[in-house]
A = this chain, B = another copy of it.
Amino acid sequence: MARWQPDAPGRLAAAALDLFEEHGYENTTVIEIAEHAGLTKSTFFRYFPDKREVLFGGGTVTGLLVQGIASAPSTAGPLDVVADALDALGRTFFTADRREFSRRRQAVLNATTELREREALKRIDLTASMIEALDRRGIPSLTARVAAQLGALVWEIAHDQWIDPGSTEDFGTLARRALADVRATGALR
């Protein structure tokens, strides 16, 4: 019955989003998501531990961001490392063909407390992964924590702008501008 599918997690996420929009998160089951994607329940559970996880990409974004931090130029300061990583993420993940999906996804998250909670936890986990990746570059621990928090804020600002219906700029450009704006606040003074 179940057979290998290219990008099964992506199809499951798209199916889940359709159903959450139409019937609400609470009224949608894992079986319905799998069927809507033309897959089986056991395929679903191969990729996601539960329904709450299906819109969170199984750690892809975190992995790409950590990779981006690791491969930034060795001379870059902590915030520039984060900017480089967000830029890379814009080229590999937050691409134009994903913008509409991201916009719909965010609307569903914002409307569902259970998903907002999971999103909040993912943000903390993502920040923790950024801190570890910055630590591995030899950046002092507290500096890494500050840079990761500001990186998460820059991400949030850029992502909100990127999914705005009127927006045409790419994610990397928005992230670089948001970072420059955050710097210009001089809030650490």
Contacts and interface: CB of A to CB of B under 8 A. Distances in A.
A35 interface: no
B188 A182 contact: yes
A185 interface: yes
Interface residues of A, number: 30
Contacts of A149: 149-150, 152-153
Among A78, A116, A185: residue with most chain B CB under 10 A: A185
For the residues of A in contact with B, the DSSP-based class is: helix
A59 to B, nearest CB: 16
A149 B127 CA distance: 12
A124 B147 CA distance: 18
A38 interface: no
A78 to B, nearest CB: 6
A49 to B, nearest CB: 11
Interface of A: 77-79, 113, 116-118, 120-121, 123-124, 140, 142-143, 145-147, 149-150, 152-153, 157, 181-183, 185-189
